[in-house]
A and B are shown apart, each in its own frame.
Chain A
Amino acid sequence: MSTPVDAERAWQDLQRIRVPQERVYDEIERSAQSDLGSTYFTAAVMWVFLAVTGLDLPTWAFWLVLTAYFAVLGSVAVIYNRRSRIRLHRSRHSWRSFATFVAGMAVTLVTILVSGFVANQLALPFGSLIQATASTGAFLLFVGPANRWAVSALRDRGARVGHQAVS
Chain B
Amino acid sequence: MSTPSGFDELIHPSTRLSVVALLAATEWADFSFIRDSLSLSDSALSKQLHTLEEAGYLEIHKEGGGRKRRTKVRLTSRGRTAFDGHVAALRAIVEGAGPTTGATPATESAAATTSGTQHQQQRAEAGR
Contact, CB under 8 Å: B37 / A13: no
Bound-state Cα–Cα, A65 to B126, Å: 53
List A residues 125-167 near B (Cβ within 8 Å): 158-160, 162-163, 165-167
List A residues 1-58 near B (Cβ within 8 Å): 2-8, 10-11, 13-21, 23-25, 27
What's the A-B contact tally at a CB cutoff of 8 Å? 125
Nearest CB to that of A1 among chain B residues?
Answer: B9
CB of A108, distance to nearest CB on chain B (Å):
27
Interface flag for A88 (CB, 8 Å): yes
CB of A12, distance to nearest CB on chain B (Å):
9
Interface residues as binary, A75-98 with B (CB distance below 8 Å gives 1, 0 otherwise): 000000000011111101000000
- For chain B, which range describes its interface: under 10, 10 to 19, 20 to 34, or 35 or more residues? 35 or more
Which of chain A's residues have a CB closer than 8 A to the CB of B87?
A: 14, 17, 162, 165-166
* 17 A-B pairs with C-beta separation under 8 A: A2-B3, A4-B3, A5-B3, A5-B93, A10-B93, A10-B102, A11-B90, A14-B94, A15-B126, A17-B17, A21-B22, A23-B22, A24-B22, A86-B26, A86-B28, A90-B27, A160-B128
Q: Please report B residues at the A interface, Cβ cutoff 8 Å.
A: 1-3, 7, 9, 12, 14, 17-19, 21-22, 24-30, 32-33, 37-38, 84, 87-88, 90-91, 93-94, 96-97, 101-104, 107, 122-123, 126-128
